Structure 1
Amino acid sequence: MHIEKNVFESVIGTLLNIQGKSKDGLKARKDLIAMGIGPLKKGKRTYLPPAVYTLSRKEKKTLCKFLSEVKVPEGYSSDIRRLVSMKDLKLKSLKTHDCHVIMEHFLPIGIRSILLEKVRSSITKLCSFFKSICSKVIDPAILPMLQKEIVITLCELEMFFPPSFFDIMVHLVVHLVKETQLCGPAYMRWIYPVERCMKILKEYVKNRSRPEGCMVERYIVEEAIEFCTEYLSNVQSIGLPKSQLVEKKEGKNLIGNKIVAVSRVERDQVHLYVLHNENEVEPYVEIHKDVLRDPASITERLRCLAYGPSFHVFSYSAYAINGYTFYTKEQDDKSTMQNSGVTVVAEAMHISSVKDLNPKFANLSYFGVIERIWVFDYEKFQIPIFGCKWVENNNGIRMDKSGFLQVDLNRVGYKDESFILASQARQVFYVNDPKSTKWSIVLFSNKVIDENTGDQDDIDVEIESFTRNDQDENIISNDSYIRNDHNEGKMAIMKSIIRARGKGYLKVSIDICLDGDVPLSSSLIRVDDDAGYLKVSIDICLDGDVPLSSSLIHVDDDAGYLKVSIDICLDGDVPLSSSLIRVDDDAGYLKVSLYNNGTCPSKQISILSSKDKGPKI
């Protein structure tokens, strides 16, 4: 899991040029001179031309805008939208699980409309590899194929990204398949459950002076209560929260309890669907009517089904069942989560191809959104029903060449068969396709599994190869290393001024020469990230007549300069002066020119780096 996090930070940091995370810089570009993307001199500044992995500002906005609009179901992950800064065009406050979710699910979708095709394909295959290796069930026969494909993928990435990108963490990706062969699926070995347990233990602490004692005492009490409640069936425990997993498995209404009157047509439509999908009714379809007239063969549930439900039904805005939490579309629009997406697998008649017009029965997947949640009362029991708006299968669903399942939510069909049993529903959610606003991409939600009963559903163990069939295998020409569709490179900026940000301070010694007298002055620079400034306090001693002076340094990355405004009082004769600090990486120092309004001669300050024999930074 930490390998995946570090690889993701390298990829997203390089794409968005995040300071401290990007693997692209002046030193990295010096290794790429032969490829035509080395540093260039533009006057006194150093310019880095756009490489194939360099995003323009428009492309950065596209990627960040996509992530800022993602709404996930309950329990899927944290709110992705809070991790995106549209102002700075970067991701912030990323946790390990956030990197896991974005890397495997959202990054391949977010880059669909940006970058060159071959670069985009290589990054997508890297994301698909992590998704395959983190599956709950892995066929051992597939692992040699995964090993072969990840080696090819890393070789492709080496053709685009600089050598600095391939650190030890990227190298460790090669060994993940071997680790899976020896130790089993990755989800059984990662640290997410331990981190969740640590969060629970931290909540046990009420006396901060004795944290260990609080954890031990409360854990023992909770364990004792759980042990005792095993002997008390069907009794709600006191002092322990009721497990939501059982409620989500059996079905429970959540929001918007009210009773509405339905028409006879809707009532009969739902009732007919219930009769056709109840296990109690199914055996009687193939049996003779004489057997059905036998009173001994009629169960109480079948008798209630034959009488039909009440015309007054319970309507809700949210419902928990099958390990999922479902919302109506109206409730979804008010929420920060997306819980209205639903899919169901049903048997239907369809035509195989244009040449074969004979209809055949087959299982088809239908996708839609929930519009109504009703609970019908059959006197002895209740049955929850979802009224959905389904996407038309013929022209509303497609699979693109990248393997993404796309739906057109505006193409509605099957209006006469909008109802399904809530127990048949499986949750999905939709994200907008950056390449086309008409289509949405389908992603499947995670099912919450009860630790006591486990997951009794069938699991598909097939893992498809993540190698793109449309990938061009030809050797890439030198022209492919440079982006010709935009010229938004960047200026190389000296990073030594923010080198010691571990504690938030830089200690600098400065030599100032004024009329041949060189007294030593010291400064303490404090980094203020929120305001985007460096706060500097400088003590200057000139014959004892110069008091404390202050400066405010503003960092201007685009121009490659640091703009400084300094108030200096020299015997009251020197007014406000301004300075422009030029970053000179080759010489290893910062050149400062102080200019006033002409009443005094200009002064020059040289801030020496550790490369020189002068004072140390």
Structure 2
Amino acid sequence: MDETKSFWLPNGKKHSWFDCHRKFLPEGHPYRRNVKDFLKGKTVHDDPPPWLNGEEILHERINNICGLRKTVDCGGKGHDNPTRSIEGYGVDHNWVKKSIFWELPYWENLLLRHNLDFMHKEKNFFDNLVNTVLNVPGKTKDSINSRMDLPLFCRRPELEISQDGRVPIPIFRLSKEGKEKFLTWLKTDIKFPDGYVSKFSHCVNLNSGKISGLKSHDCHVIMQRLLPIAFAELLPKPVHTAISDIALFFRDISSKILKIEDVARPKENIAIMLCNLEKIFPPAFFDVIEHLPVHLPDEALLGGPVQYRWMYPFERYMYHLKKKVKNKARIGGSIVAQCVNEEISYVTNNYIAPSTVQVPEKDVNEIRFTYKYLDVPIMFQQEGRISGKSSSAWLNDEDYNILQTFLLLNCEVFEPYERMFEDYMMDNHPNITSNDMTRAKDEKFAMWCKDYINNASKSFEFPLWMLEFVQGPKHQIKSWPMYYSRGYHYHTQSHGQNKKTMNFGVCVPGTTETEYFGLIEEIFMIEYHGAVGLKAMIFKCHWFNIDQGIRRHPSGIVDVCPQMHYDKYDPFILPEQCDQVCYVPYPRLRSRREEWWTTIKVMPRGFFETKEVSQNAIQNNIVDHVIPSTNIVRVEAHAVQDDSNYEPMPMINPEDEYLSENDFIDQYDEYSDSDSHSD
């Protein structure tokens, strides 16, 4: 509290944490010597503030401040003209009260005493950022008062208010066309899977040009999934880079799994990210919300992943409790009474009522392939639920052979036979290449397995399912438009392309580090002849090109080009082999010949990662995700040259008289007192 370098904005009438992050940079960083883009004429040589333990804070600071009272004596806010009643306030420290938690005997020994709630920090950061970029009246941080404070602290003459009252347009503000495209993109072009996010298109107002009514989770999704790509072509590159980097920081630091060695990189990056924002946005933008992310990596090292410390579960439980309210005049008693009724009902039903076991009715759409034979491979023991109107079709000869070959090559029992087939081809064709070997498997392996096992069964005994498997499936198939499996809700593209959600994108890991992205064209079930009655659910997909059709960013974002298709015809996969993804197009002001979609992987609902999967860190579940270093941004100009396509800022002269910091605190105390009396 006594190491902060925040300062008071006389026109904005608030504290600013502008240029408070260069001291967190490594020694010798060029930003430390920059006297132009931060506070004018100032260089920074200070070290980061020390991380104090509880004993140092209590005995060396709080207990030595004269006039500092306990919370029970001065109230929760602690504002009672602290500059006059507390010695050294605003000069040596910023303490206004002594928290009641210090009365706990273990409080001074805790490593993490006050946890920063990630949910509200992310939401408030998002609100400030988006409202400023959209120039929402009354909510933007780039106001008239902000421009009046600008020449006092920064060297940005191109953004200062001119003598005739003209307010220049900053580079971080969207143009009319860009704002309309961004809001239309959010409202109509964004499609997520069912249950991934609420319908925030209702929160977008195209007429007023603003976003309102977003829930905290909506802000969480937009911040981490959409902002990294949203302004790639709508704002200048330095602005897009700075916004994208801070959004990716929130994504990485809020991962379900964090390795200790991986937290060091976000801790190193966050200071550069905030300095990049300081080069672009005015001092009024940087209130305490924009400063607190610098401490999130340290808290992650002490408290672990944020999912165990954020407010989402508590907010959801509060929603559950609010539904119990029947008498709004007695909210607390109404909740207690309803909880007692639920407990009585539970005890009565489970311990007092007659012990009758109710067998749930079987869902006719539920799929659970079970067999009397215990040695059937797990690829034929699928569980799921079909939905929608069924239809019958027939496999053509090409699909029939490709499907049978695919199933044989994906069955672990047939791995020795695959090697035997390779030896057979090498003996008959000594100079065969790897491409020719792959082509031979696609064309001949299924028939070779069938002939080999049929001939060998005359002398050796094979499992019954194996004999039926090599004969091939029935040509007739039965298909459905929807299928539920492993927490995913899959649709075919023809069924879901006109819906407001996207459930037909899939991603399959290849034999190497390559990933295959595609769209589900058909969902069907195949059956085999015989006593065992093998069955399997199959997805028929259309794949994107994995060479020129995929680009990978250093941050881990993967884009696909829908115009580039996979050359080889290999459309079939098993449901358990794929993960669900959704594709989000880039918002563009001008159409291009090649369109790119960014991929967003979806975690299954109701399923938890296993111990093996949890060894991988951050967002990627396939390989370790490496967080790249953040680079400095070069800002050539702070104002746009041609402002004809921008909405001018309304020039409203402030009617309030100038207030010093002490006068502001006095007025705040009077306002708080009048509020408490009126309540």
SS in 2 for 1:48: coil
Question: Is the aligned partner of 1:308 residue 2:472?
Answer: yes
SS in 1 for 2:596: strand
Q: Residues 432, 376 of structure 1: CA spacing in aligned structure 2 closer, same or farther, 3 A cutoff? A: same
Offset of 1:431 from its aligned partner?
Answer: 0.9
Distance 1:296 1:200 in 2: 63
**Contact persistence 1:344–1:426 (CA under 8 A):** yes
Question: Is the aligned partner of 1:214 residue 2:338?
Answer: yes
Structure-1 residue corresponding to 2:562: 409
**Contact persistence 1:245–1:448 (CA under 8 A):** no
Offset of 1:315 from its aligned partner?
Answer: 0.4
Tell me which moved more, 403-412 or 365-374. 403-412
Structure-2 residue corresponding to 1:386: 539
Distance 2:505 2:351 in 1: 39
Q: Tell me the amino acid that sits aligned with residue 172 of structure 2.
A: Y
1:444-593, aligned counterparts within 5 Å?
A: 444-450=601-607, 457=613, 460-461=616-617, 462-468=624-630, 471=631, 476=635, 480-487=637-644, 488=646, 490-494=648-652, 585=654
Q: Percent identical across equivalent pairs?
A: 28
Q: Residues 432, 55 of structure 1: CA spacing in aligned structure 2 closer, same or farther, 3 A cutoff? A: same
Distance 1:226 1:450 in 2: 28
**Contact persistence 2:543–2:565 (CA under 8 A):** yes
Offset of 1:403 from its aligned partner?
Answer: 5.3
**Contact persistence 1:84–1:92 (CA under 8 A):** yes
**Contact persistence 1:430–1:443 (CA under 8 A):** yes
Distance 1:428 1:6 in 2: 28
Structure-1 residue corresponding to 2:156: 35
C-alpha distance after superposition, 1:170-218 (max 9, x if no partner): 1111111111011100112222223333444555667888443334433
Distance 1:269 1:448 in 2: 32
Offset of 1:64 from its aligned partner?
Answer: 1.3
Structure-2 residue corresponding to 1:250: 383
C-alpha distance after superposition, 1:44-88 (max 9, x if no partner): xx4321112222111211221221210001222112323222222
Q: Select 2:204's aligned residue among 84, 105, 110.
A: 84
Distance 2:140 2:167 in 1: 14
Distance 1:178 1:245 in 2: 48
Distance 1:335 1:489 in 2: 34
Question: Is the aligned partner of 1:377 residue 2:533?
Answer: no
SS in 2 for 1:72: coil
**Contact persistence 1:51–1:482 (CA under 8 A):** yes
Distance 1:442 1:41 in 2: 49
Structure-2 residue corresponding to 1:197: 317
Q: Residues 428, 27 of structure 1: CA spacing in aligned structure 2 closer, same or farther, 3 A cutoff? A: same
Distance 2:163 2:300 in 1: 48
Structure-1 residue corresponding to 2:120: 2
Offset of 1:399 from its aligned partner?
Answer: 2.6
C-alpha distance after superposition, 1:150-184 (max 9, x if no partner): 01111111111111111111111111111101110
Q: Select 1:99's aligned residue among 219, 236, 261.
A: 219
Q: Residues 313, 455 of structure 1: CA spacing in aligned structure 2 closer, same or farther, 3 A cutoff? A: farther
Q: Residues 386, 27 of structure 1: CA spacing in aligned structure 2 closer, same or farther, 3 A cutoff? A: same
Distance 1:112 1:207 in 2: 51
Distance 2:460 2:346 in 1: 49
SS in 2 for 1:97: helix
SS in 1 for 2:124: helix
Distance 1:466 1:216 in 2: 53
Distance 2:167 2:408 in 1: 69
Q: Tell me the amino acid that sits aligned with residue 2 of structure 1.
A: H
Tell me which protein shows more strand as a share of its residues.
1
**Contact persistence 2:473–2:528 (CA under 8 A):** yes
Say what the alpha-carbon RMSD is for the aligned residues: 3.6
C-alpha distance after superposition, 1:294-343 (max 9, x if no partner): 88863343233234322222201111123211111111123211011111
Question: Is the aligned partner of 1:47 residue 2:166?
Answer: yes
Question: Is the aligned partner of 1:25 residue 2:143?
Answer: yes
Question: Is the aligned partner of 1:441 residue 2:601?
Answer: no
**Contact persistence 2:192–2:582 (CA under 8 A):** yes
Q: Select 1:65's aligned residue among 181, 184, 194.
A: 184
Q: Residues 299, 279 of structure 1: CA spacing in aligned structure 2 closer, same or farther, 3 A cutoff? A: same
SS in 2 for 1:31: helix
Question: Is the aligned partner of 1:186 residue 2:303?
Answer: no
**Contact persistence 2:488–2:605 (CA under 8 A):** yes
Q: Tell me the amino acid that sits aligned with residue 407 of structure 2.
A: V
**Contact persistence 1:370–1:389 (CA under 8 A):** yes
C-alpha distance after superposition, 1:509-530 (max 9, x if no partner): xxxxxxxxxxxxxxxxxxxxxx
Distance 1:202 1:287 in 2: 66
Q: Select 1:74's aligned residue among 181, 185, 194.
A: 194
**Contact persistence 2:272–2:632 (CA under 8 A):** no
Q: Residues 490, 255 of structure 1: CA spacing in aligned structure 2 closer, same or farther, 3 A cutoff? A: same
Structure-2 residue corresponding to 1:579: none
Structure-2 residue corresponding to 1:149: 269
Q: Residues 100, 307 of structure 1: CA spacing in aligned structure 2 closer, same or farther, 3 A cutoff? A: same
Q: Residues 89, 473 of structure 1: CA spacing in aligned structure 2 closer, same or farther, 3 A cutoff? A: closer
Structure 2 runs not aligned, ≥5 long: 1-118, 370-380, 422-451, 618-623, 658-666, 668-679
Distance 2:340 2:538 in 1: 46
Distance 1:86 1:223 in 2: 53
Structure-1 residue corresponding to 2:25: none
Q: Tell me the amino acid that sits aligned with residue 507 of structure 2.
A: T
Q: Select 1:323's aligned residue among 468, 487, 492.
A: 487
Offset of 1:587 from its aligned partner?
Answer: 8.5
Distance 2:285 2:216 in 1: 20
Q: Residues 455, 484 of structure 1: CA spacing in aligned structure 2 closer, same or farther, 3 A cutoff? A: farther
C-alpha distance after superposition, 1:452-496 (max 9, x if no partner): x9676465323432435xx5566x45xx222224353634454xx
SS in 2 for 1:50: coil
Distance 2:350 2:404 in 1: 42
Q: Residues 334, 108 of structure 1: CA spacing in aligned structure 2 closer, same or farther, 3 A cutoff? A: same
Structure-2 residue corresponding to 1:539: none
Distance 2:262 2:506 in 1: 30
SS in 2 for 1:446: coil
Offset of 1:292 from its aligned partner?
Answer: 5.7
Q: Residues 376, 53 of structure 1: CA spacing in aligned structure 2 closer, same or farther, 3 A cutoff? A: same
Structure-1 residue corresponding to 2:251: 131
1:256-405, aligned counterparts within 5 Å?
A: 256-286=389-419, 293=457, 298-347=462-511, 362-378=512-528, 380-400=533-553, 404-405=557-558
Q: What is the TM-score of this pair, normalised by structure 2?
A: 0.63
Distance 1:259 1:202 in 2: 49
SS in 2 for 1:412: coil
Distance 1:587 1:79 in 2: 40
Structure 1 runs not aligned, ≥5 long: 348-361, 495-583, 589-609, 611-617
Question: Is the aligned partner of 1:16 residue 2:143?
Answer: no
Offset of 1:111 from its aligned partner?
Answer: 0.6
Distance 1:408 1:447 in 2: 25
Q: What is the TM-score of this pair, normalised by structure 1?
A: 0.69
C-alpha distance after superposition, 1:351-371 (max 9, x if no partner): xxxxxxxxxxx3421111011
